[in-house]
Amino acid sequence: MSCIKKFTEPYKYKYNGKELQDELGLNMYDYQARNYDPALGKWMNIDPKAFKYPDVSPYVYCIDNPLVFTDPTGMEIDVSFIYEKNKKGQYINPGLVKAFEFFAKSKQGIAFLGNFAKAGQVIAGHKYESSGKFDKNNTDLNFVENKSNNNAQTGSELKKGRMEISIQVSGGADGNDRLEGLIDDIGHESFIHAENIAEDYYDDKKINYSKIDKDIRDWIDDAVKNGSYPKKWAENLMQHRQAKTHSTLEIKLLPILKDYYKKNKIPKTAQEIKAEMNYYRE
């Protein structure tokens, strides 16, 4: 007969790998930014960034869509507006949802998003097993609504030691948008702008255009000095010329669009797709 009595602490890391807080019988999971009640399936305190998503309840988890999203800290939701629904439970931007998921499930989209993802994060059904290099470098990527115009655009801002990159996209409410155009917008902003900003910040944690070829930097300096372009256009123009020089869209976006046309049985040659791809014309 064994006389050894085992004393072990119960394993506290449960749902999503978060620690169970069982003090005072609360039984909630610690998500750093707020606490989650598994019995109710709701947060017990408000998302500190709820002001960014006025159409989403500040108490829900992953905008009530955990099959598509994860929320590792209980704080950020990267693409919430894309999946917003109306009172009938229908997507407000159904075309944008389809376009984003087609991009996010592609080989090139997975590679791009993987550089920003946290370990264990799920985006459009794909689980990223390890944190990406940009995530490890304190760089966040957000897909947000562009309310200023119908054109996609990308911006960045350094906040409390973290680089926040926001891809602003638009999508019509009726779902009749040309999906290839939306995929083009997402790919254009991702591969030409967001990735360039993240790489620039990655090497020395500064935005100094270190990933832009020197001859391109010299070209824009001269263009600004002689009045050909205003200074506020400099970054955008450099990123476009860098992409053209290195055939960025042909390498990364063209395969996604070719696959889209093929799966939808739309006859389109590679040359025709390249002619339509959203390169900025200087």
User: Are residues 268 and 254 in contact, defined by beta-carbon separation less than 8 angstroms?
Assistant: no
Confidence of residue 80 (pLDDT cuts 50, 70, 90): confident
- Is the pLDDT at 8 greater than 80, yes or no? no
User: Are residues 201 and 139 in contact, defined by beta-carbon separation less than 8 angstroms?
Assistant: yes
- Is the pLDDT at 176 greater than 90, yes or no? no
Q: Which two tokens stand for residue 93?
A: 């931007």
Q: Tell me the per-residue pLDDT of 245-267, one tens digit each, with 9 for 90 and over.
A: 999 999 999 999 999 999 999 99
In a 3-state reduction of DSSP, which class is residue 126? strand
- Is the pLDDT at 106 greater than 90, yes or no? yes
Write out the H or E segment, with its range, that includes residue 167: strand 162-169
Instruction: State the pLDDT at residue 2.
Output: 42
Residue 222: burial class (beta carbons within 10 Å; 0-12, 13-18, 19+): exposed
Q: Give the residue among 168, 106, 112 at the shortest CA–CA distance from 139.
A: 112
Confidence of residue 183 (pLDDT cuts 50, 70, 90): very high
Residue 212: alpha-carbon gap to chain centroid: 22
Whole-angstrom Cα distance, residue 152 to residue 184?
10
- Is the pLDDT at 213 greater than 50, yes or no? yes
- Is the pLDDT at 117 greater than 60, yes or no? yes
Residue 145: alpha-carbon gap to chain centroid: 12
Mean pLDDT of 104-124: 93
Q: 46-55, 180-189, 251-260 — which is least confidently predicted?
A: 46-55
User: Are residues 74 and 147 in contact, defined by beta-carbon separation less than 8 angstroms?
Assistant: no
Instruction: State the pLDDT at residue 67.
Output: 47
- Is the pLDDT at 54 greater than 60, yes or no? no
- Is the pLDDT at 104 greater than 80, yes or no? yes
